[in-house]
Structure 1
């Protein structure tokens, strides 16, 4: 067991396997709602209105190409107080790229956000959830925490809203510290989102963005991807 950058502990027999954060070990009944943003922008305004009405701060992972096409929407997300995360520059499968290409993908989106908002990001979600140890290492070298999810809504499959609500609110991995994956640019997400939020609130959950959920130091990541404080 070795210390890595950001004081990360990884439970492994060797230093070869690196893991992203799938969920967080916490006794607080909190969840993080996250959106991957790489397709259209036709539902962004409505999603932001829903989040405002429900008093939920979420995390948006932006693809660099999307930032280039819809800069005003990115500004709206930031102005509303949501987390701005990195989803790669051109939404490529990261494991198929060289180390240099991986870093270029991360840097491309990072540079666009810096130019647009004057801020740096430190949350990275590999497109398609595609990662290996190299991807995590390269993101880490660039000051990023790699974020996956524990609750996959599968909204990109365009299920009926009631099926999407059930998928999330009755998910077998629904638990404190969970990270929910959703997408913008779908037909069903905006329809199901209000009920998802309300039903989870009825179960006693509150919502925090990833920046408020994860630990920044003195932590380790277990084999299931749960981030845990090392000193408890």
Structure 2
């Protein structure tokens, strides 16, 4: 008798062989199978007896495998038909053209430079091909060439909506991007969805998370610990169902290597997630169960609302920061200074309105090759969009200072979120970039406001030195600003300056040059771990 080589069997064969053995055992005890049950594999004449050959046994297992695969295929085809009748799938290769940024980020690996727009277009083509092979019809992309720099994020969102309108269907929108960060250890996948009427988007994101997480770990924190983040970016909020997938961090060598070497696996995982969503939608439609919003969100907000919101003001001096406050900063991802003995300085500016000096400050920073963080308000973004664009283009951090510069401790949880996310939404719609740092207006904070900020995935940035520079009617001159800054620096200091100050602009070049002579290095907030 031919010897059975079990090692040659696939996992499918192993699993189904066990099922077959179980069926045979049940038959031996006179258990009958219901032959009328739909999609059930019936084993009658193919039952294996003790005298059957191994070849017959293997053939039986293969028959079971083939029949099971046919069942799975029929289910997938039914799900794709269901989605085809109701949705048009639009794939959006991120970047490639905005008013300010053309290529998105670039990254190097093994001496070769890669651009986000190029890689995401390759992914879009691959996902489109695999979706078509899976039976999805009417697939569209928001652009047909990686170098189509005429298509801004506004144009792409409008084009996706028009695809749906022309087809008389809802839009299932999948926008593809990569992430970037100065710390190369940060990595993982993030999936963004809109904030309201988002139940279907969240379910799609959950299925994508499940299918993609075996390739790249999920990146998340706070309320977004699962890697699924709510943001009302235009490309999401105007779609019935949509996700923005940050596949991985190009700044993380491991992530970038996977994005380059495992394109087929990652694209397949995206398609599998859409397949699972289609099956879920089909089942929910049959049961007439389709809530509009994720019920977990209200519970999360209620939990945040239970945290006390006693207001505090941030001191101008480090010596006024108590041990209790320091503990809260660590607990809620707040920062005011880096603990170090190295001569490092972190330069930040608050921008509530433009007084004509921010472009000049940018000139000084560029000439001295210094990167800073600029915390802007919603009003500043609207009135000085070109200045913000320059901050982005020259590699500075653009931080969130809220939409309306309201006192955060006085707001309800949802109001806090609107103040933070409203600005991030407008910023993303212009630049296709997220915000990671939040500075509370007027330095006013509470334990609850810290918790809300953390839940949204932000780090709260205070300062360990500032001075009375914000009053444009009470400027004291270049020398006053120079002495104030240079006499109060120390290792790890986060300096807060206001960009409306003429004194700050006039003193800045000398401050940078002289502090460098004294051994200080100017660093980015991204370098604080």
Return the TM-score normalized by structure 1.
0.82
Q: Distance in 1 between matches of 2:424 and 2:415?
A: 14
| CA-CA distance at 1:185 after TM superposition | 1.8
- Structure 2: state its 5+ residue gaps: 1-220, 226-322
Counterpart pick for 1:107 among 394, 400, 421 = 421
Change (3 A) 1:22 1:52: same
Larger % of helix: which?
2
Q: How far 1:121 sits from its partner (Å)?
A: 0.9
C-alpha distance in structure 2 between counterparts of 1:78 and 1:155, whole Å: 25
The Cα offsets for residues 70-127 of structure 1, whole Å up to 9 and x where unpaired, read as 1111111100111111011111111121111111110111111101110111101011
1:209 corresponding residue in structure 2: 524
Q: Kindly indicate whether the alpha-carbon contact (under 8 Å) linking 1:68 and 1:112 is maintained by their aligned counterparts in 2.
A: no
- The correspondence for 2:361, drawn from 47, 72, 79, is 47
SS in 2 for 1:23: coil
Out of 195, 198, 212, the position equivalent to 2:510 is: 195
Q: What is the CA–CA distance in structure 2 between the aligned matches of 1:196 and 1:96, rounded to whole Å? A: 37
Please state whether the residue corresponding to 1:188 is helix, strand or coil: helix
Change (3 A) 1:193 1:79: same
1:124 is aligned to: 438
Contact 2:353 2:379 in 1 (8 A): no
What is the root-mean-square deviation in Å for CA atoms of aligned residues? 2.3
* Aligned pairs, number: 205
Matched, 1:168 2:478: no
TM-score, normalised via structure 2 length: 0.37
Taking the aligned partners of 1:170 and 1:87, their CA distance within structure 2 comes to 27
Larger RCO of the pair (alpha carbons < 8 Å, separation 6+): 1
Which has more radius of gyration?
A: 2
Change in Cα spacing, 1:103 to 1:55, as seen in structure 2 (3 Å) is: same
Q: Which is further off, 50-59 or 186-195?
A: 186-195
Q: Which runs of 5+ in 1 are unaligned?
A: 216-232
> 1:101 & 1:115 partners in 2: Cα distance?
21
Shift of 1:193: 1.0
Match of 2:199 in 1: none
Q: Structure 1: which 4+ aligned runs deviate by more than 6 Å?
A: none
